[in-house]
Amino acid sequence: MNQPATDTQTILREISKPPGSCSSLPDSISIIRIDHLSKIFKEKNRIVTAVDDVTFEVKRGEIFGLLGPNGAGKSTLIRVLTTLLRPTAGTACVDTFDIVRDPEKIRSIIGVCPQNSTLDVELTAYDNLEFYGKLVNVDDSILDTRIWELLAMTELTDRAYMKVQTFSGGMRRKLEIVRAFIHHPLILFLDEPTIGLDPEARHEVWQQISKLNEEKTTIILTTHYMDEAEKLCNRIAFVDKGKLIALDILENLKQLIPAGDLIEIGFDSIDEKMLPVLRENTLINSVDVKDHKLIISAKNGSKLLPEIVAVFEKFSTPMTSISIRSPSLEDVFIHLTGKKLDEGGHQETKPSRGGRPS
């Protein structure tokens, strides 16, 4: 999204820009602009459309979540944006640079923590950071200070000279995340930052990510954990079979479910005549009975609760439990795709002719 032109010079600059140019980005709200991007893998027996005509923007300073099941194309999209793979079609700008024309420049302003660990477990934490720091050209005069800063951030200072193979999964992941941050990148890409971690370690990694974002870094993370996306992300993009199927802030995504909140009321026995009385209420979308539970879906469930309780009292039916749940991201995903997030699925087709790997 470009800022509105404010003066003649700006208008002229905009008009003279070649189509698809990335030059207007530095002052704009967007730090990444993706335009009809596709990545197709062609192999002997199959063609996989891993990223399928995707268009969206990432705003400066936000934590942006790419949420989707296994094989949705999240890592492929990250690999294209971080210039590890060339797109098959479409364009993308990362800050002021084009992913195909300026890969070197992009690499200097981004940090990447890939899905599969690339730490050298035979090396110490300090050596891993030092090695990477030299690789991304951190000045020798500041490298040592920066390494100790990052170790302090992850509370790994006292383990600086211990081999990474002695670290827990959470410690390794935190180390790998801050390693990607060693050169103060403008944008940090985290691919499944908490995969395989226990709940406590996941919370620590979340804190780490929030801390890095406080330093004004834009963070793009992929995950198939809904709670992670809910907890961390300003905006969330749902991807499925390579396609972008929804993108918004959490509250707006939840509004996509017409049914609204889910109210569950437990009972030992129920008077069937209650059901039509409840269904008469225009604010209630549906009423179902399942396993000694009345399941009511309605917008604004908490406001409606007193009316529902009154109906139970009228029919002298005691309640054994009450719960109200607003729709989760999982519910939204099911509503949009008809399947659960852990059901996976990529688009795979037989090639019409023999293809070559790309």
Ligand X SMILES: Nc1ncnc2c1ncn2[C@@H]1O[C@H](COP(=O)(O)OP(=O)(O)OP(=O)(O)O)[C@@H](O)[C@H]1O
Contact 37, 8 (CB under 8 A): no
- The binder of ligand X chosen from 24, 40, 71, 133 (CB under 6 A): 71
Contact 65, 332 (CB under 8 A): no
Nearer Cβ to ligand X (24/75)? 75
Report the distance separating Cα 91 and Cα 225, nearest Å: 28
Q: Which amino acid is at 90?
A: G
65 binds, among ligand X, Mg ion, none (CB under 5 to 8 A by kind): none
- The binder of ligand X chosen from 2, 3, 70, 302 (CB under 6 A): 70
- The binder of ligand X chosen from 24, 30, 75, 83 (CB under 6 A): 75
Tokens of 196: 């395989």
3-state DSSP assignment of residue 279: helix
50 binds, among Mg ion, ligand X, none (CB under 5 to 8 A by kind): ligand X
Is residue 48 near ligand X by the rule CB under 6 A?
yes
Give the shortest CB-329-to-Mg ion separation in angstroms. 18
By C-alpha distance, which of 91, 89, 108, 111 is closest to 99?
91
Give the shortest CB-163-to-Mg ion separation in angstroms. 27
Longest dimension (CA), the chain: 79
Distance of CA 164 to the CA centre of its chain: 27
Is residue 241 near ligand X by the rule CB under 6 A?
no
By C-alpha distance, which of 53, 49, 55, 58 is closest to 25?
58
Is residue 73 near ligand X by the rule CB under 6 A?
yes
Is residue 74 near ligand X by the rule CB under 6 A?
yes
Which stretch in 18-26, 73-81, 166-174, 302-310 sits in contact with ligand X by CB under 6 A?
73-81
Which stretch in 9-17, 109-117, 156-164, 343-351 sits in contact with Mg ion by CB under 5 A?
109-117
Report the distance separating Cα 87 and Cα 102, nearest Å: 13
Is residue 50 near ligand X by the rule CB under 6 A?
yes
Contact 110, 94 (CB under 8 A): yes
90 binds, among Mg ion, ligand X, none (CB under 5 to 8 A by kind): none
Element (H, E) at 106: helix 103-109
Give the shortest CB-118-to-ligand X separation in angstroms. 15
- The binder of ligand X chosen from 202, 224, 235, 254 (CB under 6 A): 224
Which stretch in 30-38, 71-79, 250-258, 261-269 sits in contact with ligand X by CB under 6 A?
71-79
Element (H, E) at 39: strand 30-42
For residues 54 to 83, the per-residue mask of contacts with Mg ion, x marking binding by CB under 5 A and - elsewhere, is --------------------xx--------
208 binds, among ligand X, Mg ion, none (CB under 5 to 8 A by kind): none
Give the shortest CB-121-to-ligand X separation in angstroms. 22
C-alpha torsion sign, points 164, 166, 171, 173:
positive
Contact 335, 256 (CB under 8 A): yes
Is residue 65 near ligand X by the rule CB under 6 A?
no
How wide is the angle at C-alpha 246 spanned by C-alphas 245 and 252, nearest 5°? 160
Give the shortest CB-336-to-ligand X separation in angstroms. 16
Is residue 68 near ligand X by the rule CB under 6 A?
yes
Which stretch in 7-15, 70-78, 227-235, 257-265 sits in contact with ligand X by CB under 6 A?
70-78
How wide is the angle at C-alpha 201 spanned by C-alphas 196 and 204, nearest 5°? 135
Which stretch in 10-18, 27-35, 63-71, 226-234 sits in contact with ligand X by CB under 6 A?
63-71
Total Cβ atoms within 10 A of residue 207 = 11
Tokens of 174: 């935190």
3-state DSSP assignment of residue 349: strand
Which residues here bind Mg ion, judged by CB under 5 A? 74-75, 115
Which residues here bind ligand X, judged by CB under 6 A? 41, 48, 50, 68, 70-76, 115, 224, 346
